[in-house]
A = this chain, B = another copy of it.
Amino acid sequence: MNYFTFELIHQSQKSRARVGKIHTPHGVIDTPNFVAVGTNATLKALDSTTINNLGLQLMFCNTYHLMVQPGTHIVKKSGGLHTFMKRNSPIITDSGGFQVFSLAYGTVHDELKSRGQKKHDGSVIKISEDGVLFRSYRDGSPLLLTPETSIQAQKDLGADIIIPLDELPPYHIDQWQLRKSLDRTHRWEKRSLDEHKKNPKQQAMYAVIHGGIDIELRKRSCQYLSSLDFDGYAIGGSLGKNRQEMIDMLISVMPWLPYEKPNHLLGIGDLISLEQSIALGIDTFDSSHPTRCARHGLLFTTSGNLKILHASNKDSMEPIDKNCNCLVCQNYTRAYMHHLFKAKEMTGLSLASLHNVHFMVKLMERYRQSILEDKI
């Protein structure tokens, strides 16, 4: 399968951190790398012609959202996601499972806040061995998400990397229920892989390792899924209720993943978690954190985070970051950005998002350089 290969460039002498290159039909992804989230086939407030200039090598789109709107058949008719959204670099899509189960159970965060009460918003009609039947939030029409329909949807979307359907168990379940959920996830991932293999279409598929924060189950998941012919390994499911639980889990899990294949940490992108994960050998991670921060006026800089709405920026003629060569820092002052946010101008959201994505791209370049120099 030479349309998708992982090339290991350097293994740090100091940690599990490593530098690599993932070769895909739409170009190279240098690793470790940050994957920006463009849920609805666009980053929020930025179009692809802008993003294509930023050097963002991998973008994450959400199958669940695209099934509901515009429908994956429309994307297929457009020639796939790359043509639809005019992106000329790699794309990864998820299975839709995370969103559907979040509707059913809430996220870990919701659950911790609500002490484990189940959400009942009526969107999920039925969960069975076959899959999940849910209602479109847009028009109420029923949609069936099974391993097979998820993969068919992801074939329509045509991303470079796709993900098998998994079950997202609630955080607060007992060992017996977690094991049952893991077994079903494994059956679903196998069915997804089988469906994918019928018609690979130059797509790669990453397995999703589950098991919550139960180390024995995580190990079992790694062992089972690495026995199947996946192209890479994502770490999903509940990553714990705080960063330390996640890091503890990753310390155990990372050595169990096939070393010669790329891996991905699902849904984590805050700067501290990211640095710690890189040292543990994570290759890519997706998160809407940098773009969401941007829309709330939290701008990343090489000397720490900047709250652009803070009054100290009101008459500051400095750029957001003196060390940044992005379009925003080359053209606009903090005073202007502060003004745009105060005046609630959408232009501010676009510029802030552009800056934070650019920051992440450059931060990743620096991390790769540090690994090459065995400093991480």
Binding site for B on A (CB under 8 A): 40-49, 65, 69-70, 74, 77-78, 84-86, 314-315, 317, 327, 331-333, 335-336, 338-340, 342-343, 345-347, 349-351
| Interchain CB contact (< 8 A) of A350 among B40, B45, B340, B342 | B45
A347 contacts B45, C-beta separation under 8 Å: yes
Contacts of A41 in B (CB 8 A): 336, 339
B86 contacts A332, C-beta separation under 8 Å: yes
A347 contacts B70, C-beta separation under 8 Å: no
Contacts of A46 in B (CB 8 A): 347
Contacts of A332 in B (CB 8 A): 47, 86
A333 contacts B48, C-beta separation under 8 Å: no
A84 (CB) vs chain B CBs: closest residue: B336
For this chain, the copies found in one complex come to: 2
A40 contacts B345, C-beta separation under 8 Å: yes
Contacts of A340 in B (CB 8 A): 40, 42
Contacts of A69 in B (CB 8 A): 339, 342-343
> Bound state CA distance, A85 and B338, in angstroms?
12
A-B contact pairs, 25 of them (CB 8 A): A40-B339, A40-B343, A42-B347, A43-B347, A44-B345, A44-B346, A45-B347, A45-B350, A46-B347, A47-B332, A47-B350, A49-B331, A69-B339, A69-B343, A70-B335, A70-B343, A74-B314, A74-B335, A77-B315, A78-B317, A78-B333, A78-B335, A84-B333, A86-B336, A346-B350
Determine how close the nearest CB of chain B comes to the CB of A12; give it in whole angstroms.
38
Contacts of A47 in B (CB 8 A): 332, 347, 350-351
> Bound state CA distance, A327 and B53, in angstroms?
14
A70 (CB) vs chain B CBs: closest residue: B339
Given known A-B contacts A42-B347, A86-B331, A339 and B74 have beta carbons under 8 A apart: yes
A328 (CB) vs chain B CBs: closest residue: B47
> Bound state CA distance, A40 and B341, in angstroms?
11
A314 contacts B70, C-beta separation under 8 Å: yes
Contacts of A48 in B (CB 8 A): 331
> Bound state CA distance, A47 and B335, in angstroms?
15
Contacts of A338 in B (CB 8 A): 70
